[in-house]
Structure formats: C-alpha cells, structure tokens
C-alpha cells in the first residue's frame, strides 16, 4: 500500500506524448504487415512487436544512471558482434549485415544505434565538464571503428546515420565552426572513399541515376493507385510486385491501401515526436540528458526521411527501415530502446546521472 503513491508519482512523471507516438507507429506497422504477410511472418512480427513493446516499457521504468551504464556496456558487446559479422556474417542481397542464431537473424548495426549515441554523448559531456579534450580520443576511436565495420558490410545508409549522429553530438557540445568544417571535410572524404572502393554501392547509385528499377516503378505506381483514401486495407495489388514491401517500400504500401492522407499523418508523426522531445528536454538541467534525447529523436526523423525518400524515388534504396513501422526484429527492438531511452531520460523526476 505504501508503494502506491510512489508508483503513481513515477507514472505521472512521464511525458505521455512520447509514449503514445511510438505505440501508434508500431500499431500501424502491425496492421500494414497484416495485409502483406503470410500467417507465419505475421506471427513472427507480432512476437517481435510484443517483445519490443515489453522492452520499451521496461526501459522507461529503469533508473537513469543504470540505463546509461547498461547502454554503455551493451555498446562493447555489439561491437564484438559487428566484428563477428565482418568475419562470418550472414549475406542477403549482396550485403553482409546479420548474425544467424537458429531461425533468427540479428542485425547488430541496428541494435547499436542507441548505445552509440549514449556513449558518444557521455564522453563529450565528460570532456566539456572536465575541460579536458584528451577524453575525446575515446569516442573518436570508437566512432571510427564502428563506422569502418558498418561501411565494410556494406551499409552506406547506416554509415551515414552514424556519421551524422556523431557530428550532431560533437556540434551540440563543442559549437565551433572550425570543428564543423573538419567534420564536413571528413564526411566528404569518407563518402568518396566508400563510393570508389565499393562496387555494390557504385552499382546502386548508377542504377538510381540511369535506370528505374521495377520495384521503384511499382512503388510509385502504388502511391498513385492509392490516391487520397486508398483502395482499402488488404486490397492493394501492386505490393506483390515490390520485393522489399515490408521494409524499404512499406510507406508506398500504406498509401496504396489507406491513402495519401493517412501517409501524411505518418510523416507528421516523426517531426511531431522531435518537437515533443525538444519541448520535454527544454526543462532538463543535465546537458548530457538534454543532448542525448535530442540526437536520438532527430536521428529517428532522419531515418524516417531516408525511408520515405526511397519510396518516392528521391534517393537510391538504402535498406533503412521506417522506424517502428517496417518489419524486422532488430529494427523494432532498436527503436524500442531509442524511444524507451528518450521517455526515460525526459521523466520529470529528481534523478542524477553519476560520473562513473
């Protein structure tokens, strides 16, 4: 009985909007996969979604300091998994990004997103707090290691994700034009090297500028077919012509079946999530918490933009899923961790982050 008031205060400390939006997105993904998948794949997706929601709600109730330590420890476990992928990973569609365990595929490059942002942000925070830039050697080396491992898979889209994450964190803490210029030059150099050395990425870029693939054409046709209100849930036919209809092009399938108006609502969810995160973080005194949740929310919007841009033929296919909507256990769990961390770090409660 005595614990009831404490539990109520804890629940009241959450920003409800930062919980409702992720749940809405995962429900949209479930209904979309319901019309796309076989019974077996749908059941698998429901298992992934249920586990991700369980993880999300578990994370938001953890102590902030404990969650920070947990994310930092998991970073090194996932780096070891990335190294394993490099030597003995599972290949699919010309890319080696997965580890096979029984009948499940694990994609470490997805799961490492939240730990990476937390770890890098923490060391930049320590550097600023202690006025010691030598501390930055640690996050820079970790960043270069992860970037190299992911680029070698090859995974151009996710490599860009990590580069922008690191750059944004650095700019938020350092705020020097010279540093921004150095990052820009490194980014240009890095992208150029990847394109020059990697035939797989060169071919995708060449195909994008010189020819339109069947699945891209089908994606655009699906959007045109849907119109404002769609043809009805489960009634779409063009989805069967798209090989990655539950991942890269899931946005097109949603529009075909439920219309452009609903598609606009989904697009609106992501910047709205960033807005609510920014608003919630504005009252946080701790700079580490404030910057970490902003970067996580911003990169969620960035990934959604990349996925939707692929569906409407603005950029080449990258394989980056639509956060909490596309299928894939690793992607769902990754964003459960991200959304859960944001909800946790923005809790309105007196909780300190230790310097350990």
The predicted-structure confidence for 278-287, as pLDDT tens digits, reads as follows 999 988 989 9
pLDDT at 88: 82
pLDDT at 239: 72
Mean pLDDT of 280-309: 94
* 24 inside domain: yes
Mean pLDDT of 112-124: 96
Band the pLDDT of 125: cuts 50, 70, 90. Answer: very high
* 351 inside domain: no
More confident residue, 233 or 128: 128
pLDDT at 189: 77
Range of the domain at 302: 16-345
Mean pLDDT of 91-102: 77
Alpha-carbon Rg for the chain, nearest whole angstrom, is 20
More confident residue, 278 or 39: 278
Band the pLDDT of 190: cuts 50, 70, 90. Answer: confident
Alpha-carbon span 307 to 155, nearest angstrom: 14
Mean pLDDT of 118-141: 92
* 116 inside domain: yes
210 pLDDT higher than 60: no
Mean pLDDT computed over every residue of the chain: 84
* 9 inside domain: no
Band the pLDDT of 3: cuts 50, 70, 90. Answer: low
* 47 inside domain: yes
pLDDT at 6: 57
The number of distinct structural domains making up the chain is 1
Band the pLDDT of 9: cuts 50, 70, 90. Answer: low
Band the pLDDT of 274: cuts 50, 70, 90. Answer: very high
Residue 286: partners with Cβ closer than 8 Å, 6 or more residues away: 352, 353
* 320 inside domain: yes
* 354 inside domain: no
Mean pLDDT of 131-159: 89
42 pLDDT higher than 80: no
166 pLDDT higher than 90: yes
Band the pLDDT of 183: cuts 50, 70, 90. Answer: confident
Top-ranked range on mean pLDDT: pick from 13-17, 108-112, 221-225:
108-112
* 353 inside domain: no
């Amino acid at each position: 009985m005595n614990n009831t008031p404490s539990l109520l205060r804890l629940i009241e400390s959450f920003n409800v909007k930062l919980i409702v939006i992720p749940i809405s997105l995962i429900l949209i993904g479930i209904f979309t996969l319901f019309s796309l998948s076989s019974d077996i794949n749908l059941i698998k997706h429901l298992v992934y979604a249920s586990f991700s929601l369980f993880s999300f709600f578990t994370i938001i109730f953890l102590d902030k300091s404990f969650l920070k330590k947990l994310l930092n420890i998991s970073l090194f476990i996932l780096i070891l998994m990335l190294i394993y992928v490099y030597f003995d990973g599972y290949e699919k569609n010309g890319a080696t990004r997965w580890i096979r365990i029984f009948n499940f595929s694990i994609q470490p490059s997805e799961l490492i997103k939240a730990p990476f942002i937390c770890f890098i942000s923490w060391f930049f925070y320590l550097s600023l707090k202690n006025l010691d830039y030598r501390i930055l050697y640690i996050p820079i080396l970790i960043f270069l290691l992860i970037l190299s491992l992911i680029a070698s898979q090859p995974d151009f889209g996710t490599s860009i994700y990590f580069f922008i994450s690191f750059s944004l964190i650095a700019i938020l803490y350092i705020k020097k034009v010279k540093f921004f210029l150095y990052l820009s030059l490194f980014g240009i150099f890095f992208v150029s090297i990847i394109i020059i050395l990697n035939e797989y990425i060169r071919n995708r870029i060449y195909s994008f500028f010189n020819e339109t693939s069947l699945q891209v054409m089908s994606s655009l046709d699906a959007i045109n077919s849907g119109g404002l209100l769609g043809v009805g849930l489960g009634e779409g036919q063009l989805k069967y012509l798209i090989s990655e209809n539950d991942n890269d092009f899931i946005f097109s399938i949603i529009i075909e079946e439920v219309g452009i108006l609903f598609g606009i609502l989904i697009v609106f969810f992501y910047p709205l999530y960033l807005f609510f995160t920014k608003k919630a973080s504005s009252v946080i005194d701790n700079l580490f918490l404030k910057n970490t949740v902003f970067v996580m929310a911003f990169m969620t919007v960035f990934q959604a933009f990349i996925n939707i841009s692929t569906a409407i033929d603005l950029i080449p296919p990258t394989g980056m899923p639509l956060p909490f909507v596309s299928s894939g256990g690793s992607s769902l769990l990754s964003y459960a961790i991200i959304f859960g961390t944001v909800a946790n770090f923005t809790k309105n409660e007196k909780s300190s982050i230790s310097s350990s």
